[in-house]
Structure 1
Amino acid sequence: MPTLGRFAHLDRVRYPHDLRNLSVEQLKALADELRAETIDTVSTTSGHLGASLGVVELTVALHAVFDTPDDRVIWDVGHQTYPHKILTGRRDRIRTLRQPGGLSGFTRRSESEYDPFGAAHSSTSISAGLGMAVAHHLRAEHDPSYRERNVIAVIGDGSISAGMAYEAMNNASHCGPGAERLIVILNDNEMSIAPPVGAMSSYLSRLMSSRKFLSLRDLAA
């Protein structure tokens, strides 16, 4: 069972639409509470703690800004989805995580409408997102509401170095209007099973240390 009564903001959130009534300051406080709940959960069930803690603020922001589940969020690999599960109606079962008959340790389509893609090996999120975005574009011919639906692929700096991710980005450039609602978020946290290598990794390192990027980061803060 969740630790109800401990958190002023998290206890008021069952689904993402509840986030959209909170102020920026309240969302920041909620992120702190979500981090504490994630730590408490993994201390009970075991699991991928670091990956989930690294996306707490990102998870809150995604569900506060986008109209999920109509807007689809696809998590690459899925190790980092514990905060996502807590915010999408599964907090009451979060301590069954990775247990027999309990919640999956990854995204699972049969588990929630907020899990549009069942993540497995890495680097598949952009391909899956592109397919969904094109499908939305085609369906919009009969249902105009699909024109406004976004598909967001969240991929890490390690996963984006794989060939499947490059193939998906290359294909997206040829899909025309079908790819217009595909958004790719790069979680460049320099954390992966093995150190990221190659031209993309080198470029991102230069970008992150550039004066322009640091100036923009300071402005955002």
Structure 2
Amino acid sequence: MAFVKKKATEWVVQEDRKQSRDYPDLLLSLQDDNATTRRWAARDLLSCPNAATELVARLMVEQDLSVREVILTTLTRLGDATAVAGLVNCLRSEDTALRNEAIEAMKQLPDEVAPIMHGLLTDADPDVRIFSVNVLESLRHPDVETWLIEVIASDLHVNVCATAVDLLSEVGTAAALAPLTQLKARFAAEPYMQFAADLALHRIQEA
């Protein structure tokens, strides 16, 4: 009896998977009440180059973590301008988990994120600027240090600069020494900034 039940369950899942994979049907499935159906739809929309808009819209309201994970994976693999813009929009979300997931996804798109990074690092919202520095943490791009130096040279927000300094202590080279020294003078009254900058200077000089 248990064996029959298992086979029946497998058949139902397989039939659900074998429903039409046409673009309109996938969009309908992406809104289905069943999380498994939504998950399959999010995965199969990878074959639809224009699906990023709908995937981003679903991502903003999706509560099932497994579905969100697949949506983020598909958006990352699509990697077009709409997908990247959607991930950037997540940085403005009040949902901490969604923000962190978007940051991790953006780290996988160095070439796609690079053209908009300057704009992100100068965004009017300091939180977005901080999250953008977080993206740089694992972004494999040759301009990471340059972007960080620009932040500590021009940003007026202490927390944004502190986040950039923390990362410079890991990736900085001799090019960051003078900007770090200037930063210390600019935030002379901020004890943490003095500590973080000194640590970064020490690590770079010892490297």
Q: TM-score range by the shorter chain?
A: 0.3 to 0.5
* Structure with the higher fraction of residues in helix conformation: 2
Larger RCO of the pair (alpha carbons < 8 Å, separation 6+)? 1
> Which one has a bigger Cα radius of gyration?
2
TM-score of the superposition, structure 2-length normalised? 0.33
Q: Which is strand-richer, 1 or 2?
A: 1
The normalised TM-score by structure 1 is 0.31
